[in-house]
Structure 1
């Protein structure tokens, strides 16, 4: 639904070389995931036999049980609606391969052998397994696999398989393949795979968990794909090696889901992945298409069609951020706020340096003008000029409250900028008389006349002193059209035009603490002031009567819609569904 798929990473209990036990555990986990409407269930490397079977891989008894175990999983899948990827050893023409079997609806649709066989440090897999590059066949008959009693069709085999379900396309690789300089996933994703599955064992040592997480996340970002990773659980641990059962689901460079325990087993991890984001980015980022042309070729892969039936997805495991522009993590929030501020300052600093002009700003005592003023003050500082180079003009009129007026004055004084107060009430009343506007009629003309008068003052004063009018409107206001034409929609440099409203507040809060401690008290009150254009008279008790969010709705909703519309081009229906999930019960 809405291009979401649910991926399940299943790490079952394992008893090494006890195939019957392992298969029962695999079927239990597959059934559990199927009940959760998983589209894909991913198991670890060699899950049917256990990864640490060692020389038992050469025993005919184990290999026969392995085949029987595979058949049992295929039979069980007939009653399930999920695609299953499970690890097993498979013998082809006298060579043993460490492989992934792709199973759906009572059939096996492909076998993907491991390409890169580690034989260094604690690994000596070449003792048992050959590389997928050594295969000289492209398919295996059902008779050869000893599954002809449950399946007639031959089974494609190779590390070049891309599976197309009609709803999503995926590929598979095994453990070490992702650690290679050029992973197999590169070829598969450049030829259309949107999801990569890695069946892994990957023993544990100090700091490897974080390295593995970064590697999987980076691979999902570089290949613009979803990447799921299932590693052998703790019951595979030996006297020499510890296995931690690390499970990961990443997409487009972001972590979607990860198991919590450092050493883990016997669990299923779920993640809902938005393929719409991946598809949009592949369309937008032309480097992906160029890379596909340069390094990918239809001749390099073999496409396998799976007659998959799309499943319902209730977005239960979807990580949908209510505030996509505002990180939840405090450390990340502070870092991003500083980054936004630095970019704003750099842009304005360069402009001021080139045109040799003083910044002129209309200061209202609200959030947007406060941020613009802080940016301008820091920009002139970095140009080795005094704060007084910044000209702040407050222009009280009908709707100005004592709170916002006093805050604007206190802020300018605390920052040391040049402070000018130009009341515009009389000028606006004169304009009303000129055009025949009733001053008691609080209509659009009443409001816009004030906004245009303020802009005229700013532009004319800037012209007088050779200044540059710094606009204060933010991205959200501009996207909504919540500004007055030929008034606050105009400036000589819109320093906030790329900053959404939900981010403005956090940038001001962080920067006040790190850059402007002398102004932190007044900024704290600005942060606590309702967002308002103050174009209508205050209430009887002198407080702000006109509050923007009461008129246009909550900015957190607007920024949510703006993000998914502009960033990914989602349909209104999809954005509405995501909003219902993110803001459940709030509106």
Structure 2
């Protein structure tokens, strides 16, 4: 796991009682020794967990403060047996000022102490009554138990065995301030922000807390770990739920149950390599950094150097990263994408003053989606549907099923359709080329694709219209399109849609079709095997050339595409994640073989992407040479293939 840039983070809530310092130590130790079975790289405890947060004026009692300091030392000594740091809240008196602090303990030492900056002092909170802010402290070290300890809000802790493991700390209210300290900690390099908190529960507050935490995680392009005080705190006027959260770049990885009456903790594996890649890829992030105004100190420590692959990854690896898992989220995603596609085409038609569009309809998924988008675009642009002209062009591999579906769909939707059989002209062209006429090479297939595109382009010129492209994002990644054939159009509406999502978009429209016959045709198209239909059908007249038999399962290729482009991962990590995601579906050998094919095709087919027609970007991944992906057409994949070959 560490080889692939993961770190295991735990947020823990011990059952503590205000001012019961010895009992609190016992609860904390019990929790630590249970949580260490998860072998974390960092464990976070709540704000003032040693003393309890709700001690009120007892914080002015020297007895409580001295005992808390002694318990901190006892807890520090216990960490000598651990190979991960612990963050624990404690009140500390420094030169006649009392601070609400978070101490970082590791290897029997206090690595550093961070004081809270923003002290809430309204409604149920009165922290300024007891504590001083850490904003303008004069000392950057303190003496504690005869040790000189780094002290301040400028500390970033880094694991010498895992350089990506860099974390900073802000405490409770610091997060809720207009300019949280975590913003500066992140700009200074911290990939993880830990927040020991004591946030009481009110109606709706948990959801708001999650929103704020998620937004800060996304804004800083980092991981945010949050642990709040639990029900053991005083309930005189407030209740503390023990809310625990782990976020990564705005995404919730794990949330603990609130209101538990026993020690509890959550763990999740944070992808630090992904966060580092996202920061590198974000120009606005790097432009924000002003190192002169960020005089932060790095505190090194030694975490565990061992791997834990045998324990498995404690996070979901989504096998279909482009497709939301819940039906509700899928519907929202499909509605938005369909709106982006149709609005883009409508805008293009209006910009160029065009009232006609030409589309080749095969009866397959991609061209069907393009038709549905085009129909909606004409409606949005206020153009008559008669301006949308479809052609189905049966060739050597066209089956009765796809041809029939194309014709029937246009008939039910009231879209003009013409049949243009290209077999004779393709046969004639092959003969002119001194080709055998047998399906023995790529020329046999591509002559059909280029003939179709030529017909469409010429028809569009005759009608004063544009050709709508049908190819999708996955085909562009793999180069599964004929150069200057279906590769080319005047506006490509599916260029940002991965194959695994195309069928859901078609289904989205089908589910809302008032014309039930049209809906039935769409459902049959969804169930039709994916094929370019360039090779003759089998003896039963069924599709013989199935795309996924040739280039591999699209669900695998879309997964590879997401990891490679969106996350910047190499073959080793992509393979590692794919094995986790598809462990019940594909053997590792199969995954590795298709990943090799993906790398080879992605590199070798860049020349097709270097001259793509215009088309709308709909998600975080796009391959347009004018926008998201710039790559030399003659790039060498050798080091990627070698890395994969050496990966177990």
Where on the TM-score scale, by shorter chain, does this alignment land: which range? over 0.9
Q: In the alignment, which residue of structure 1 is the partner of 2:547? A: 548
Q: Given that residues 184 and 294 in structure 2 are in contact (C-alpha distance below 8 angstroms), is that contact kept between their aligned partners in structure 1?
A: no
RMSD: 1.6
What corresponds to 1:236 in structure 2? 233
- Give the whole-Å Cα distance in 2 for the aligned partners of 1:165 and 1:441: 60
The 1:471–1:264 alpha-carbon spacing in structure 2 relative to 1, beyond 3 Å, is farther
How much has 1:308 moved relative to structure 2?
3.2
8 Å contact 2:199–2:229 — kept in the other structure?
yes
The residue number in structure 2 matching 1:385 is: 383
Q: 1: distance between equivalents of 2:529 and 2:303?
A: 52
Q: How does 1:153-192 map to 2 (within 5 A)?
A: 153-166=147-160, 167=163, 168-192=165-189
- The answer on whether the counterparts of 2:41 and 2:304 sit within 8 Å (CA) in structure 1 is no
Deviation at 1:225, TM superposition (A): 1.0
Sort the Cα spacing of 1:517 and 1:272 in 2 relative to 1 into closer, same or farther, 3 A: farther
Partner of 1:53: 55
Instruction: Please report how far the alpha carbon of residue 441 of structure 1 lies from its aligned counterpart in structure 2 after TM superposition.
Output: 3.5
Q: How does 1:476-515 map to 2 (within 5 A)?
A: 476-514=474-512
1:278-305: CA deviation from partner (whole Å, max 9, x where unpaired) = 1111111111112112xx5365322222
- Assess, with a 3 A threshold, how the Cα gap between structure 1 residues 299 and 470 changes in structure 2: closer, same or farther: closer
Aligned to 1:572: 571
Give the direction of change, closer, same or farther, for the CA distance of 1:516–1:188 in structure 2 (3 Å limit). Answer: farther
State which of 252, 277, 280 in structure 2 corresponds to 1:280. Answer: 277
1:154 is displaced (CA, Å) by 1.1
The farther-off stretch of 44-53 and 458-467 is: 458-467
How big is each residue's C-alpha offset from its partner over 1:48-72, in whole Å with a ceiling of 9 and x where there is no partner? 1111122222223222221221112
Q: Which moved more, 1:2-11 or 1:59-68?
A: 59-68
Residue equivalent to 2:536: 537
Alpha-carbon distance in structure 2 between the residues aligned to 1:534 and 1:264: 63
Deviates more, 1:164-173 or 1:510-519: 510-519
In 1, Cα distance between equivalents of 2:369 and 2:95: 70
Q: 2:292 aligned with 1:297, yes or no?
A: yes
8 Å CA contact 1:220, 1:253 repeated in 2 = yes
Determine the structure 1 residue equivalent to 2:463: 465
Instruction: Give the equivalent residue in structure 2 for 1:402.
Output: 400
Equivalent-residue separation in structure 2 for 1:28 and 1:338 (angstroms): 50
The secondary structure found in structure 2 opposite 1:569 is coil
> 1:84 maps to which residue?
86
Q: In 2, are the aligned partners of 1:204 and 1:244 still within 8 Å (CA)?
A: yes
Report whether the alignment pairs 1:350 with 2:344: no
Q: Aligned in 2, Cα 1:533/1:289: closer, same or farther, shift over 3 Å? A: same
Alignment of 1:53-452 (within 5 A): 53-141=55-143, 145-146=144-145, 148=146, 153-166=147-160, 167=163, 168-261=165-258, 265-293=262-290, 297=292, 299-314=294-309, 315-355=312-352, 356-452=354-450
Paired position in structure 2 for 1:11: 13
Q: Is the 8 A contact 1:163 1:305 kept in 2?
A: yes
Q: Is the 8 A contact 1:4 1:313 kept in 2?
A: no
| Count of residue pairs brought into register by the alignment | 577
Q: Distance in 1 between matches of 2:411 and 2:135?
A: 72
Shift of 1:493: 1.1
SS of 2:585's partner is coil
What is the CA-CA distance between 1:165 and the residue it aligns to?
Answer: 2.1
Please state how far the C-alpha of 1:307 moved relative to its aligned partner.
Answer: 3.1
Query: Alpha-carbon deviation of 1:215?
Result: 0.4
Question: Deviation at 1:514?
Answer: 3.7
Task: Report if the CA contact (8 A) 2:240-2:259 is conserved.
Answer: no
Find the residue that maps to 2:203 and give its secondary structure: coil
- For structure 1, the 5+ residue unaligned runs are none
Partner-residue secondary structure (3-state), 2:363 = coil
Once residues 48 and 78 of structure 2 are traced to their aligned partners in structure 1, the CA distance between those partners, rounded to angstroms, is 18
- Superposed CA deviations along residues 383-422 of structure 1, whole A, max 9, x for unmatched, are 2122121111001122111111111111111221111110
Gaps of 5+ in 2: 587-648
Distance 2:541 2:97 in 1: 86
State the 1:186 CA deviation: 1.3
Separation of aligned partners in 1, 2:404 and 2:176: 61
